[in-house]
Structures are given as C-alpha cells and as structure tokens.
Amino acid sequence: MLGSGWDPIANLLEDAIDIDYAQLPAFPATGVDGHAASLRLGRIRDRDKVCEVVMLRGREHTYEHGDAGAMKGAIRSLAALGCTTLMLTNAAGSLEPEMPPGSLMLISDHLNMVQRTPLHAEAGSSRFVDMVGAYDPVLRAQAILAANAAQIPLYEGVYAWMLGPQFETPAEIRMLRLLGAQAVGMSTVPETILARQAGLRVLGLSLLTNLAAGMSNVTLSHAQTLRTAQSSSALAIQLLRAIIPALET
C-alpha cells in the first residue's frame, strides 16, 4: 500500500496491469492529493528471483469521513486472492530530532491514539484480534538486513495514529513523545488491524517528511508534506527495491 512519496515504486513493476479503484466494487474512492487510486499488478525481478506484487496506489483515510473501515474491502480482497504479506507505507512526522525530514523508519509497533477500530461492526469472535507482534518481527529483521546490505539508513520506532486532518498541537506532540512514539501520522493503524484479522503478515514503513509540531519553525501543511515526500522519494524507492525481494513470505 503506497502512501505519499512512495508511489514511484509502481513504475518499476514489469508486465504491469492497472485497474482503477472505481472498477472494483470493494475498493475505496480516495480523494486525497498524492494518491493515484488504482491497483497495479506486476513483477519485480532481482537476479533469479521474481516477486509477484500487487500495489495499492493510495488509501482512503479515516479523517475523510470518520470510517476506520474504509480499506476493509481492499485488504480482504487481497487476502482472498492469496496475498500473504502486506507492506504498508506512509508519510509521517518525526518526533525525534535525530530522525530529520527525509529519513526512513521501520514501524516496530503503534499507538492507536484515536481508539477507533475497523472491526466494530463485526459479528462473533473474529473481531478480537491479537495485536502482539502486529508488525511481523521476522519481516522486520529481513527488512533491516536488506537496508543494511543496500547501505540505506533505516530507523526503527513506534508510530502514533492521530485522526486528523488537522495537524497535532505542540502539546499533543509532547504527550506522544512521553508515551514512547517516534513518528506520528493519520493512517496505517486501521489497515494493520484489518490485515491481522485477515491473517496477513504486516511490514510498515514511514517516510518522515517533517519534524512534528513545535519542533521546528516550519509551517505544517499537506502541500509541504507532499513536497518533502516527493523530494525524498528516491531513497524510499531504493529501500523498497531492496526489501521486497529480501522478504521470505
């Protein structure tokens, strides 16, 4: 699932087939700049290995309407097609001065600060999903090895989900830092919950586009997020290009 700044990886797929979300009844109608709202299927080759990949070029966010289950149909469709691993990418704000804009972070865990779930309408016991190890530790170890081999700096930390669409206040950022978060954003957590319920293994990556509110003199905006994401996307794409063939899924 490609967040802001990650979409150029779609250009590396061989034998690519594109399907607009609008043609798929269970898929969202995202209306956020920087999200292509289409599915791309294809292959990534690495030496003798061929990886079959489905790329979700954009997501629908809870802040667009309040529904945390907006990506439910898309993720369950992938699981039904036989996908076993979901890589979630996003643009996020850094809570650590040591991780400046343009840095990349592997998500080790998350804080669901919104305390919303995409599973509230589920029936029976399937809604009770174990979230220990939600970001698969084996996949994370493989990603770190791949990043090291490619000499790409990769931080690791906890991602805090805030509802948005407004950015956080400096007081909220101080709270998140006290709670142990290293990055903050407005996505990813609902998709992780859905993926774990569907039995998918999850790997999460953040492209850090700014220092969070109160940590710099930069005025935060979606346009600024997109600009930094686009200017930093080359390294993010190199990282994905290294990680995808390295995953033993």
Structure confidence by residue, pLDDT tens digits, 187-245: 999 999 999 999 999 999 999 999 998 898 888 888 878 887 787 888 999 999 999 99
Percent of the chain with pLDDT over 70: 97
Contact status, residue 36 vs residue 7, Cβ threshold 8 Å: yes
Smallest CA-to-CA distance from 94 within 108, 82, 104 is with 104
Residue 163, pLDDT > 80, answer yes
All domains in the chain, ordered by first residue: 7-246 (3.40.50.1580)
Count other C-beta atoms under 10 Å from residue 151's C-beta: 8
The pTM of this model reads: 0.93
pLDDT tens readout for residues 98-138: 999 999 999 999 999 999 999 988 888 889 999 999 999 99
Distance CA 166, CA 233 (A): 24
| H or E element in which residue 46 lies | strand 38-46
Predicted pLDDT at 33: 57
pLDDT band of 32, cuts 50, 70, 90: low
Predicted pLDDT at 130: 96
